[in-house]
């Protein structure tokens, strides 16, 4: 009934906040990391990706150095991203070659 055109105001109970914390393989130079993050940034162009952030992971209580966080309006948008050729190519050609270890986290409203 509320025809709100502000795309940020999606129903809270639909939104999925997807994030991944990760560490690079040994031997990645600063330039390698810049190229990696440039490639990560291009994933924002995939339809449905919202609130995209590249972050430092600073808790000393886990072993991961960085994080990537984004939101999807619903699971359909999330799966569209997951299966998108640009995302699949990024995972195959860059992520798997340069990332040592990672953990994925998906948050939804309780």
Distance, CA of 38 to chain centre: 13
Q: How many residues bind a second copy (CB under 8 A)?
A: 27
User: 22, 46, 49, 67: which one contacts a second copy (CB under 8 A)?
Assistant: 67
Instruction: Tell me the C-alpha distance between 79 and 72, whole Å.
Output: 9
> Which window, 1-9, 48-56, 79-87, 92-100, contacts a second copy (CB under 8 A)?
48-56
Q: What angle do CA 60, 66, 68 make, to 5 degrees?
A: 130
Residue 77, classified by CB atoms within 10 Å of its CB into exposed (0-12), middle (13-18) or buried (19+), is buried
73 belongs to the binding site for a second copy (CB under 8 A) = no
Nearer to a second copy, 32 or 53 (CB): 53
User: 62, 79, 92, 93: which one contacts a second copy (CB under 8 A)?
Assistant: 62
């Amino acid at each position: 009934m509320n025809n709100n055109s502000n795309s940020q105001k999606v129903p809270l109970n639909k939104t999925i906040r997807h994030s991944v914390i990760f560490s690079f393989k040994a031997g990645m130079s600063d330039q390698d990391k810049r190229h990696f993050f440039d490639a990560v940034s291009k994933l924002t162009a995939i339809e449905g990706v919202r609130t995209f952030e590249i972050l430092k992971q600073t808790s000393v209580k886990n072993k991961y150095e960085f994080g990537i966080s984004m939101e999807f309006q619903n699971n359909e948008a999330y799966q569209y991203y997951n299966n998108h050729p640009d995302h699949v190519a990024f995972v195959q050609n860059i992520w798997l070659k340069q990332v040592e270890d990672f953990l994925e986290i998906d948050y939804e409203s309780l």
